[in-house]
Amino acid sequence: MIALCDTARCVACGACEQICPRDAIRLREDSSGFLSPQIDPGKCVSCGACRKICPVLTPPDAHDILACYAGWTANRQERRGSSSGGIAYAISKKTIHDGGVVFACRYTSDGEVEQTCIETLDELEAARGSKYLKSAAKDTYRRTKAFLEKGRKVLWIGTPCQIAGLYGCLGKRYGNLLTVDLICHGAPPARYWREYLDHLVSGHRGITCSFRDNTNGYCMFVRSGKKLLLKRDWKSDPYFYAFMYGIDLNESCYSCPFASAERIADLTLGDFWGLDRKGLERVPFFPSMILVNTQSGRKILDVLQNELVLIERDVSEAVAGNAQLRQPTPRHALRGPFLDSYRQKGFYAALKETGITETCRKNLLKYRIKQPLYFFYKNLWKSSKDF
């Protein structure tokens, strides 16, 4: 029988599931919450299609970076709902205006996240913002192929492993496809978020979470519909804390083959950590880093030049400031104890036993005292420098 990559290396992109002509593969969670492919021996005909397109076993072609920019959307109002410079939103909007479709990530009605097909500006709002958990690709690679074959323009935004899985399933590059990958620190399995929600709220229906925006930075707002249920900064929320320190990521994230300066997508977006602001005026608090990896990537920035502010920077500045362009996130010292505890007692107990909840409880007290001061100084900064 066909052997696919083991759980420790599987990036759970779902490409094998979608390419299988016999529908013999399903991604299943193991006792640690990690997804990996399970093959139904009764259905598998050993055709090998899954091995050929698995981005871990057969990595797709990657590109050297052609150019690097610090950038953001010129319209400040428009930028507000986004995580950094709002570039993903601007490109998505343009695609929809041109009659194309966008595949991006949004919350499901059950509070989880998935890649989904977006055709209207209203639907696009829900895709904004970074969701710090693994997004399910579902059947989106197949659907993308169908749109491309019909000649429709497609924009696909996702993590590098999803873009790699997509190219594997497509089997070739299409002129009407534009891909954007995010610089990715790694993502916790969806099961952890599900278990965390069980602890936070009664019922997941209609729950969404904004982890990061332009105004509040790394601050978590959990909502049920429009009602705000919880607001905490990253240091005072155990889920967020474990994510930021790389304690609870999917196992394969620690050996991610895509955490490098060679990129698979046409464009790469991230935060411009390490931007040398000397000599630069009017740079917002969270500028985006935009890496142009192909001519298609270059073309869309040319088309949007009146809507975006773009400042060309040296690629080495981007690489020096953003660790995920050099290597995967390292395992935290609490990783082992966290996993041991998780397997026996579940997510919240593991956060407790590793001391994360207690650290966050103390941080929450500090946050409540410091928060008014933080906003006072941030608003001062904004009124003098931001726009």
Ligand X SMILES: Cc1cc2nc3c(=O)[nH]c(=O)nc-3n(C[C@H](O)[C@H](O)[C@H](O)COP(=O)(O)OP(=O)(O)OC[C@H]3O[C@@H](n4cnc5c(N)ncnc54)[C@H](O)[C@@H]3O)c2cc1C
Tokens of 24: 């013999």
Other Cβ atoms less than 10 A from the Cβ of 361: the count is 11
For position 104 contacting ligand X by CB under 6 A, the verdict is yes
Residues within window 125-154 making contact with ligand X, judged by CB under 6 A: 127-132, 135
Residue type, 153: K
CB of 22 to ligand X, least distance (A): 28
For position 158 contacting ligand X by CB under 6 A, the verdict is yes
Residue type, 315: V
Question: Which CB, 157 or 360, lies closer to ligand X?
Answer: 157
List the one residue from 210, 250, 296, 324 that touches ligand X (CB under 6 A). Answer: 324
Question: Which CB, 293 or 324, lies closer to ligand X?
Answer: 324
List the one residue from 18, 36, 159, 236 that touches ligand X (CB under 6 A). Answer: 159
For position 184 contacting ligand X by CB under 6 A, the verdict is yes
CA distance 116 to 122: 14
For position 87 contacting ligand X by CB under 6 A, the verdict is yes
Name the one range near ligand X by CB under 6 A: 11-19, 34-42, 87-95, 194-202. Answer: 87-95
List the one residue from 111, 160, 238, 270 that touches ligand X (CB under 6 A). Answer: 270
Q: Which long-range contacts (CB under 8 A, 24 or more apart) does 55-58 make?
A: 55/11, 55/13, 55/15, 55/161, 55/164, 55/165, 55/167, 55/168, 55/257, 56/5, 56/9, 56/10, 56/11, 56/252, 56/257, 57/4, 57/5, 58/168
Residues within window 2-61 making contact with ligand X, judged by CB under 6 A: none
CB of 116 to ligand X, least distance (A): 9
For position 182 contacting ligand X by CB under 6 A, the verdict is yes
Size of the site for ligand X (CB under 6 A): 32
Phi, psi of 288 (to 5 degrees): -85, 155
For position 310 contacting ligand X by CB under 6 A, the verdict is no
